[in-house]
Structure 1
Amino acid sequence: MPLVIRPVSPDLPAARALLDASHALMAALFPPDENAVLDATALAEPDVTFYGAEESGALLGCVALKRHPEFAEVKSLFVAPEARGIGLGARLLAHVEAEAAREGLPLVRLETGDKLMAASALYRRAGYRARGPFGSYRANASSVFFEKALTAPATAAQSRERP
């Protein structure tokens, strides 16, 4: 069965297991006041869509798209250890970028930790540029902030108009 990325409830046991693993990693690496994780309740808010990457019945990764009036925010991007190294993080990131573009949001922003080198490398490869804190975030010793401008997907009419 091929890998499918689709909205899932953050309350599903498999989703909770991924979130618990992600939160445990963040707690081990960063001070509590420098952790910006969202719990399952926050990930179920109306302005957030939580996606799971599922293959053969196993949830291998997750990501959330949080909508703000002027931009989208990537939250909770996490890939299970057994699924790392196959490009799943890039696929999850591309998925939320495409959704944000479809919704007409011009930018995607995110916060990550300075010790998450693989995550920062993924974001840079995907075209993200470093920026300062945004929204309610404040500068601290651990946080790194990124942003990427999106291009809206062409509509069918626009596609027909191109030479």
Structure 2
Amino acid sequence: MPVTIALERPDTADAILLIGELEKYIVPLYPHDKEHGLTQAEMVEAGVVFFIIRSDDKPAGCGGVRFHGTEYGELMRMYVRPEYRGHGLGRLVLRHIEDYSREQGVKALRLKTGIYQPEALGLYERLGYRLIQPFGSYREHPLNRYYQKILL
């Protein structure tokens, strides 16, 4: 199964499909959270760098990063479709975003995720992300977790 990762706008048809699936997955898990992420239009306006991973030319997952200068980038919209999970695609997208961010001179990556996604929590922790306090406009909530990885 040939795998590719491409830089794309977050408002392409495949991006809309993947982000829509992600929304359907997370909204029931976290009804307290009214801000599950930026819309595609907001992502374009904010300059989010967005990648889609494909397997056999089919969209299998995605991930984006919004830079806050070179201090940090915020990971967002990380998602792998259920039928593609367990094949390391999430790790590939995450490593790709890390490498891209390093090339841009970014010092760290941060993210917000939730406790009901143990596979995602495990992936972040295995790849060196460590728990931090809420950052930016985020506030503490018992269902949320905040992580950071220093990029060297």
User: How would you bin the TM-score normalised by the shorter chain?
Assistant: over 0.9
Distance of 1:46 and 1:113 partners within structure 2: 23
3-state secondary structure, aligned to 2:98: helix
Ranges in structure 1 where 5+ consecutive residues have no aligned partner: 152-163
| Counterpart residue number, 1:84 | 85
Distance of 1:14 and 1:105 partners within structure 2: 27
Q: Partner letter of residue 7 of structure 1? A: L
Write the deviation string for residues 50-85 of structure 1: whole angstroms up to 9, x where unpaired. 110023221110000110021011100000111100
Pick closer, same or farther for the CA change 1:149–1:125 going to 2, 3 Å. same
Distance of 2:46 and 2:55 partners within structure 1: 26
- 1:17 and 2:14 aligned: no
Distance of 1:137 and 1:41 partners within structure 2: 21
- Indicate the larger mover: 28-37 or 14-23: 28-37
Identical aligned residues as a percent: 33
Q: CA deviation at 1:32?
A: 4.6
| Counterpart residue number, 1:98 | 99
4+ aligned runs moved over 4 Å, structure 1: none
Distance of 2:125 and 2:35 partners within structure 1: 21
Ranges in structure 2 where 5+ consecutive residues have no aligned partner: none
Q: Partner letter of residue 89 of structure 2? A: L
3-state secondary structure, aligned to 2:23: helix
Could you tell me the TM-score, scaled by structure 1's length? 0.87
Distance of 2:145 and 2:46 partners within structure 1: 26
Larger radius of gyration: 1
- Indicate the larger mover: 92-101 or 3-12: 3-12
- 1:116 and 2:85 aligned: no
Distance of 1:32 and 1:26 partners within structure 2: 11
Q: CA deviation at 1:13?
A: 2.1
3-state secondary structure, aligned to 1:44: helix
Do the aligned partners of 1:71 and 1:107 also contact (CA within 8 Å) in 2?
A: yes
Q: CA deviation at 1:34?
A: 5.2
